[in-house]
Structure 1
């Protein structure tokens, strides 16, 4: 069983040195999964960043997930891939990755949510819960009501994405969602370790799930 509780999505604007520092500190603070996002289309740079973070995560038990790019995930032997609706179809991604890798899919409305249950994916990213400056092309905002509805209509683990921060995290965790994905709340914090620890404590305090032992 994967631990999705505190899911860090990296900031592709940060240089490699800052990225490594953020991830290292965030993992010490309790992040349970790391997804590398790279939107600039430079595959060599993506692979370089992925290799550096994979080495950094080695021995921590924290999985490395690659955003969008199955080829990059295969190149560095990452633990999985997270797809958006305009990326490679999940069925093809699964064929390429094999059965033992994690495969996540973002869903942005009820139709995509329903269709995803026919696909070979391991978890769903529900996007966006609230408005967020890091993603301006969202189809809808699910809100707490939509998140609660989704929890009641799926057998798959759900990760909440979009606009999550220390101010609303307790209410989100209280829905029983399996994980929360965060970018700026950790990546842009002056002290990522302390930020991650505070967020993790909030999640563990308010989630109705049985708390798993700390990393």
Structure 2
């Protein structure tokens, strides 16, 4: 894993979702988290297949939000469940506080959010900040990926310097004029040696 998970949001995808993900993969993205939970099941499965075809030549992996991997082998679960998680090669979970972290069992990684105020969820003001991220990192042995409002290389680096294993980015990549360039910049920022 290169320290970055790109999270989909077709409503924000400036160049269309499939093209945005293709460009993100060109920039070095190797993990993509498919959300799009409002799509009908058949359309969501077809989109999953299309994104897997983009990721496969680069050795990437599609992670599907929800308990059904849609024909794949990786899921990202909500904090609320299901428990125990399904047995798959890669399982992640969303967490926002100590109580949710305490419920982790066999998950491979966890996203902690929101780190910063995010344009993707207007009106959602309860940001953790780097202090909150550091506090939650101290409450789990799980691999933690910071999520929420990470729009710049400096913000991504600050999360990694605080102790996160990586970052997950949605809006900034979806809205980027050049998703490949932004992804390359973010990967470079999280891969720099510790300061």
1:102 maps onto 2:95 in alignment = no
Q: Which runs of 5+ in 2 are unaligned?
A: none
Q: Which runs of 4+ in 1 moved over 4 A?
A: 136-139
Contact 1:29/1:195 (<8 A) preserved? yes
Residue 81 (structure 2) pairs with residue 84 (structure 1): no
Match of 1:130 in 2: 116
2:30 touches 2:58 (CA, 8 Å); kept in 1?
no
Query: Who is 1:191 aligned against?
Result: 178
Contact 1:125-1:161 within 8 A present in 2 as well? yes
CA deviation digits over 1:117-161, x for unaligned, max 9?
A: xx2211111011112132358694221011112223322110111
Equivalent-residue separation in structure 1 for 2:77 and 2:63 (angstroms): 10
The count of residues paired between Structure 1 and Structure 2 equals 193
Q: Secondary structure at the match of 1:47?
A: helix
Q: Structure 2 length normalisation: TM-score?
A: 0.88
Structure 1 equivalent of residue 134 of structure 2: 148
Q: CA offsets per residue over residues 70-95 of structure 1, 9 Å max, x none?
A: 23x1x32x231111124x4131x41x
Equivalent of 2:145 in 140, 159, 164:
159
CA RMSD of aligned residues (A): 2.2
Distance 1:121 1:137, change over 3 A: farther
